[in-house]
C-alpha cells in the first residue's frame, strides 16, 4: 500500500511558534495586570524575585492553553 503524502505544517500555513508566542503574550499580560495572590503573599523570593514567580505562572498558564513551550 502506498503512503499518502501529507503536507508539513509550514506547507499548510500553520505556524506553531506564532500561536505559542501569542498564547504566552496573553498569559504574561494577564499575570502582570492581575498579580496572583501567591506572589503577593510570598514572604521569601528566590533568585529573580517576584518577577520570576510571575513569569513561571505565565508559562504554566500558556502551557495549559496549549502553547508549545520548552519544559521546565
Confidence of residue 12 (pLDDT cuts 50, 70, 90): low
Q: How far is residue 16's CA from residue 10's CA, in Å, rounded to a whole number?
A: 9
Residue whose cell numbers read 506564532: 18
**Mean per-residue pLDDT of the chain:** 83
Q: Report the Cα–Cα distance between both ends of the chain, in Å, rounded.
A: 42
H or E element at residue 37? helix 37-41
CA distance 45 to 47: 7
10 Å Cβ neighbour count for 67? 20
**Confidence check: pLDDT of 11 > 80:** no
Amino acid at each position: 500500500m502506498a503512503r499518502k503524502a501529507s503536507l508539513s505544517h509550514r506547507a499548510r500555513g500553520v505556524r506553531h511558534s506564532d500561536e505559542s508566542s501569542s498564547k504566552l503574550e496573553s498569559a504574561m499580560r494577564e499575570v502582570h495586570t492581575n498579580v496572583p495572590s501567591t506572589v503577593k503573599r510570598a514572604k521569601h523570593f528566590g533568585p529573580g524575585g517576584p518577577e520570576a514567580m510571575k513569569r513561571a505562572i505565565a508559562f504554566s498558564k500558556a502551557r495549559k492553553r496549549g502553547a508549545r513551550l520548552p519544559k521546565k
